[in-house]
Amino acid sequence: MKKVIVKAATLSLLLLLLFSLSACSAEQDEVMANENKEEKSMHTNTSKDIKVVVNDREFTATLKDSKAAGEFYDMLPLSIEMTEMNGNEKYYVLPQALSDEDEAVGTIANGDIMLYAGDYLVLFYEDFKTPYSYTRIGKIDDPVGLKEAVGNGNVTVDFTVAD
């Protein structure tokens, strides 16, 4: 009879321990789910403003609400040497590709900040039509004077989180 009571008590303790562990696991799962939501929200930002500084000229830009824009935002601050191309854009090859959501944009506007082929960050300073596909990252809010600021050759551009 004592063996049955001991076995029942042992079984009860094991069940209690098992339920305790599953409760901890459920709490851990909830914590991990919340952390994943927070991480996702970092990559799907909602209209974050950034500063773009070119040759001491400061511009404000608004990033899109997209995964690629969120990944770009997470890289800031970023000070990069952008290369001149075609007399209408500056580009920089990022050290890692961002999530691309390429679309045929049709028209590029002065102040557009886009991603080409996943890892080319492009800052446009002229309006023109294009057959190429890009991922939109954001846009300089008021690009007046951008063309003069970037000049003719390569240029250092600082991207930072707006105050």
Residue-wise pLDDT for 26-45, tens only, equals 555 554 544 544 444 444 44
- The hierarchical CATH code for the domain 49-161 is 2.40.100.20
- Distance from C-alpha of 109 to C-alpha of 33, rounded to nearest angstrom: 40
Question: Is the pLDDT at 137 greater than 70, yes or no?
Answer: yes
- Distance from C-alpha of 42 to C-alpha of 73, rounded to nearest angstrom: 8
Question: Is the pLDDT at 150 greater than 50, yes or no?
Answer: yes
pLDDT band for position 91 (cuts 50, 70, 90): very high
Give the Å distances, CA to CA, from 7 to 11, 14, 16, 18, 153.
6, 10, 14, 16, 83
DSSP letter for 44, please: S
The domain locations on the chain are 1-43, 49-161
Q: Within its chain, how far is the Cα of 32 from the centroid?
A: 21
User: 44-48, 99-103, 114-118: which range is least confident on average?
Assistant: 44-48
Average of per-residue pLDDT across 57-71 = 97
Question: Is the pLDDT at 130 greater than 50, yes or no?
Answer: yes
User: 46-55, 94-103, 113-122, 136-145: which range is least confident on average?
Assistant: 46-55
**How long a stretch of residues is the chain?**
163
Token pair recorded at residue 62: 């608004």
Q: Report which of 56, 49, 50 is spatially closest to residue 145, judged by C-alpha positions.
A: 56
Q: What is the maximum span of the chain, computed from C-alpha positions, in angstroms?
A: 95
Pairing of the two strands 155-161 and 78-85? antiparallel
Kindly report the average pLDDT of the chain as a whole number.
Answer: 83
Q: Look at 52 and 39; give whichever has higher pLDDT.
A: 52
**Quick one: pLDDT at residue 163?**
86
- Distance from C-alpha of 48 to C-alpha of 139, rounded to nearest angstrom: 11
Token pair recorded at residue 142: 């008021």
Give the residue carrying structure tokens 């007399």. 87
**Quick one: pLDDT at residue 11?**
52
Which amino acid is located at 27 in the chain?
E
**Quick one: pLDDT at residue 85?**
97
**pTM, two decimal places:** 0.72
The phi and psi torsions of 12 (rounded to 5 degrees) equal: -65, -45
